[in-house]
Amino acid sequence: MIKFCRVCIMPNTRPRIVFNNENICNACLHSEKKKIINWDDRKNQFDELVNKIKEQSFQNKSKYDCVVPWSGGKDSTSIALKLKFNFGLNPLLVTFSPLITNECGEFNRNILSELGFDSIFVNPNKDIARKLAKRFFIERGNPKVAWDAGVNTGPVQIALNYKIPTVFYAEHGESEYGGLVLNEESEKKRDLREVIEHQIGDYPENWVSDEITEKDLAPYIYPSENEIKNSQLEAYYFGYFFKWSMLENYEYVKSNIPNFKTNPHKRTKGTFTDFDSLDDKIDGLYYYMQYVKFGFGRATRDSCRMIQNNQLKREEAIDLARKYDNEFPEDDFNEVLDYLKLDQNRFVEIVNKHRNTEIWKSAKNNKWELINSI
């Protein structure tokens, strides 16, 4: 039976989330902990880190101080702006190509190039990317498995190749949104040697098939442990040093880049916001499959984050989840079907193959209903 956090509205079906005896999820407990953090002290720690990075860059004769994995969205853009203009670092922005490029994300990436940022766009073989997306949508109900490996791999590969000492990631998702937190240090620094286990979850070398060779998988294959160990490369979560909020990140970017684009439909299907996941048209399917497999959608995800930052009341979140969670991402559906080379009947078969029948029941007119919803 689905249980819901009594502070936010996240269900216990979210992978790796933990509820305490008072029915409060660990993401909400983490948000309470953030209220007593000395953020001035964290800022001082960051200032010390910036000085260390500048010294490393000087010694390594690196033209760049750090790498920022960058989608062109609000979160990575806010980090890039702050690192360059507030802290005087010279970041190299690294983008791993979306599966189906969204014009909005492309426009926003071009803006930062005009503001004086250097960037690298990792553009893997499109045919291989498509085959992997289709394969993992069929096998796992997730078309972005390989893409996620590329997003984790590309910035590290480039940092090693350019001898850049540091990578800055956004937030530590496991602590911010409910998941596995190894220790407090893991909220600050990413252990690059454990990325395959904790972020990618698989070795891309295992994806070799009759259609795909190991050479085809080069953009997805993570550097070896020895390569990382010998490089002295370090990676940090920006959200450890500064309080993390997706809404505040958006407002910061918008105040600095007034023509920063959001969803042209004024609202993203499946939720009530228009400023999140702007770079890939396949994201709507990704989040819809989350709803199919775990019983919560994009509106629940967004509203929980805002509750935890005191930007939304729980009663409002419940109304928004009921209104938008089950909304199908129809805006880009035909383009997604064409990309995956699937017809609509086969698509429905795959979706229902991954539907969690422990939380769904068959209803009238071949429709499905959650057995226990918020």
| pLDDT value of residue 181 | 72
From first to last of the 374 residues of the chain, give the pLDDT tens digit: 789 999 999 999 999 899 999 999 999 999 999 999 999 999 999 999 999 999 999 988 899 999 999 999 999 999 999 999 999 999 999 999 999 998 898 999 999 989 999 999 999 999 999 999 999 999 999 999 999 999 999 999 999 999 999 999 999 888 888 877 767 778 899 887 667 766 677 889 999 999 999 999 999 999 988 898 898 899 999 999 999 999 999 999 999 999 999 998 889 999 999 998 888 999 999 999 999 999 999 999 999 999 999 999 999 999 999 999 999 999 899 999 999 999 999 999 999 999 999 999 988 777 899 998 88
- Residue 18: inside a domain, yes or no? no
- Residue 142: inside a domain, yes or no? yes
Claim to verify: residue 96 and residue 203 sit in the same structural domain:
yes
Claim to verify: residue 103 and residue 193 sit in the same structural domain:
yes
Claim to verify: residue 223 and residue 291 sit in the same structural domain:
no
- Number of domains present in the structure of the chain: 2
Angle 310-291-252 (CA atoms, 0-180°, nearest 5)?
Answer: 35
- Residue 3: inside a domain, yes or no? no
Claim to verify: residue 82 and residue 229 sit in the same structural domain:
yes
| Tokens representing residue 119 in the block | 């960037």
- Residue 59: inside a domain, yes or no? yes
Phi, psi at residue 252, to the nearest 5°? -65, -45
Give the DSSP letter string of 143-178.
TTHHHHHHHHHHHHHHHHHTT--EEEES--HHHHHT
Claim to verify: residue 284 and residue 212 sit in the same structural domain:
no
Which of 207, 241, 275 is the last residue in one of the domains?
241
- Residue 130: inside a domain, yes or no? yes
Claim to verify: residue 212 and residue 302 sit in the same structural domain:
no
Claim to verify: residue 70 and residue 186 sit in the same structural domain:
yes
Which of 241, 275, 291 is the last residue in one of the domains?
241
Q: What is the spatial distance between Cα 85 and Cα 252, in angstroms, rounded to a whole number?
A: 13
- Residue 218: inside a domain, yes or no? yes
Q: What is the spatial distance between Cα 55 and Cα 258, in angstroms, rounded to a whole number?
A: 34
Claim to verify: residue 267 and residue 339 sit in the same structural domain:
yes
- Which range marks the domain in which residue 94 is found? 39-241
CATH of the domain at 110: 3.40.50
Q: Which residue in the block uniquely carries the two structure tokens 């993390």?
A: 244
CA atoms within 13 A on the CB side of 36: 4
- Residue 15: inside a domain, yes or no? no
| Tokens representing residue 79 in the block | 């980090």
Claim to verify: residue 207 and residue 61 sit in the same structural domain:
yes
Phi, psi at residue 199, to the nearest 5°? -115, -50
| Tokens representing residue 162 in the block | 């350019």
Q: Which residue in the block uniquely carries the two structure tokens 């017809």?
A: 343
Claim to verify: residue 79 and residue 228 sit in the same structural domain:
yes
Q: What is the spatial distance between Cα 370 and Cα 172, in angstroms, rounded to a whole number?
A: 30
Length of the chain: 374
Output the CA torsion 175→177→178→184 (10° steps).
0
Claim to verify: residue 237 and residue 207 sit in the same structural domain:
yes
Q: Which residue in the block uniquely carries the two structure tokens 């990317």?
A: 129
Q: How far, CA to CA in Å, does 344 sit from each of 165, 269, 331, 370?
A: 47, 19, 15, 23
Which of 191, 210, 241 is the last residue in one of the domains?
241
Output the CA torsion 59→62→63→67 (10° steps).
-120
Let me know: does 74 contact 253? Beta carbons within 8 Å: yes
Let me know: does 317 contact 306? Beta carbons within 8 Å: yes
Farthest CA pair distance, the chain: 68
| Tokens representing residue 171 in the block | 């937030």
